[in-house]
Amino acid sequence: MARTAESASVCILDYGSGNVQSVFNLVSTITPSAQVSNDPEAIRAASHLILPGVGAFGASMAKIRARIPLDVVEDVALKQGRPLLGICVGFQVMASVGFEFGEHQGLGWLGGSVRRLEAGTLPLPHVGWNDIRVERDSPLLTGIRPAEDFYFVHSFVVTPADPSDVVATTEYGESFVAMASRGNLHGVQFHPEKSQRAGRRLFENFLALA
């Protein structure tokens, strides 16, 4: 059954990352039933989950394990297949391992690893508006221009285990993964909540996924 974005009920997982409020502000303009919560009941009741993120891989993983009931999230997202969107570090932790300030185990949902962006002579972190290059079709990109600009703030990048999971790439010293999807699991390295109209469209597309 087709779903409309307005009828989605969204649970935004909160492990103390700074951009939770911004994500909530934008998602609230699309659907009236959005909440920031780690409550197992709220997670089970949600039609869509969002894992936001700003910060370092290891520190974020530690907070995620401490504050988010991962058994419930994995039941809902991996077993029941409900759509989940990871943003920035929320995308990175979906890899198996991260190499920021040492080696840290990730959630492993997408496999692969997270390493420093090879920006050459360009400054890190990579901060600002940059365009994406679409590598394969995705319902999340419906209505979005092929070389649309999104807002990035990061120094590390994801390499998914399966190259066919890569949906879009971006150029900054090297080509890196801007967006990946594996079934119902989606991740974006940029910040749709700060990317004005294109970002809003991406959230609308995500919330319209059945």
Partner 1 sequence: MKKERLIPVLLLRNGFLVQSKGFKKWQNLGNPTSSVARLSEWASDELIYLDISRDGAHDLRRDDLGHPNRGTFLEIIQDVARVTFMPITVGGRIRTLEHIEQRLRCGADKVALNTQPLRDPSFLDLAAREFGAQCLVASMDVKLIDGQYEVMADGGTERTGLSPVEWARTVEGRGAGEILLNSIDRDGMRTGYDIPLLQQVSDAVRIPVIACGGVGEWNHLTEALDQTQVDAVAVANLLHFVDQSVYLAKKYLFEHGCNVRPPDLLGAVQP
Residue 68: exposed, middle, or buried by beta-carbon count in 10 A (0-12, 13-18, 19+)? middle
* Per-residue tokens: 190: 């940029």
Residue 22 binds to partner 1 (criterion: CB under 8 A): yes
Residues near 113 by beta carbon (within 8 Å), at least 6 away in sequence: 95, 96, 97, 98, 99, 158, 159
* Per-residue tokens: 68: 């988010």
d(C-alpha 23, C-alpha 8), whole Å: 15
Residue selected from 32, 81, 108, 125 as contacting partner 1 according to rule CB under 8 A: 125
Residue selected from 153, 159, 182, 184 as contacting partner 1 according to rule CB under 8 A: 153
CB of 128 to partner 1, least distance (A): 5
CB of 71 to partner 1, least distance (A): 29
CB of 25 to partner 1, least distance (A): 5
Residue 63 binds to partner 1 (criterion: CB under 8 A): no
**Residue of 11, 100, 191, 204 marked catalytic:** 191
**Residue of 11, 88, 100, 154 marked catalytic:** 88
Known catalytic residue at 193:
yes
Q: Judged by CB under 8 A, which stretch of 4-12, 22-30, 106-114, 176-184 contacts partner 1?
A: 22-30
Q: Is the CB of 26 or the CB of 76 nearer to partner 1?
A: 26
Known catalytic residue at 11:
no
- Maximum distance among all Cα pairs of the chain, rounded to whole angstroms: 50
Neighbours of 81 (CB within 10 A): 12
Known catalytic residue at 191:
yes
Q: Which residues pair with residue 179 across a beta bridge? A: 168, 188
- Catalytic residue annotation: 88, 191, 193
Query: Which stretches of the chain bind partner 1, using CB under 8 A?
Result: 18-19, 21-22, 25-26, 28-29, 55, 121-123, 125-131, 149, 151, 153, 171-172, 193-197, 199-200
